[in-house]
Amino acid sequence: MGGLGFRNVDDFNTAFLAKQLWRLIEVPDSLFARVFKGRYYRNSNPMDPIRSYSPSYGWRSIVSARSLVNKGLIKRVGSGDTISIWNDPWVPAQIPRPALSNGPFKDPTLCLTQFMDPQTNTWHRDRLFEHFNPVDVALI
């Protein structure tokens, strides 16, 4: 229909705030990040739910974009020893998410390293099929 090309200002603002939050995560040595870190998340990271005394309008606005940033975050497997199989978003689906179980029981003691062969850096496919949904095995 054409139009004047106006964007949804709320969506544009949320995207901008998410970009600033991502910048705090990715460039922690910038002046911008050091100022916010010193004031609001000294011993953690900007994605942690931190309660601060009298937060600024800017910080409250940036924190409001956490849910949008969380939607796109995925844990990289690497060695797999820091990933919670059933809680962390590590499966590379359309929207990153935790693995889906193959049955009703989810063994909380499972580690991702138990599904990997450290010598060849490959997956133990039989173990994957034993514990995870076949759709997830294909994605993994």
Residue 97 near residue 130 (C-beta atoms within 8 A): no
Which of 53-57, 75-79, 100-104, 117-121 shows the lowest mean pLDDT across its residues? 75-79
Chain segment 85-120, per-residue pLDDT in tens: 888 888 888 878 888 888 777 888 888 888 888 888
SS3 call for 132:
strand
Task: Provide the pLDDT for residue 31.
Answer: 95
Residue 45's pLDDT is 84
Average pLDDT over residues 55-84: 84
Q: How far apart, in whole angstroms, are the C-alpha atoms of residue 71 and residue 59?
A: 20
29-38 pLDDT tens trace: 999 999 999 9
Higher-confidence position of 138 and 9: 138
Its pTM surpasses 0.95: no
> Which letter does DSSP use for residue 53 in this model?
S
pLDDT band per the 50, 70, 90 thresholds, residue 3: low
The 8 Å CB, 24+ separation contacts for 13-17 are: 14/64, 14/65, 14/68, 15/68, 17/61, 17/62, 17/64, 17/65
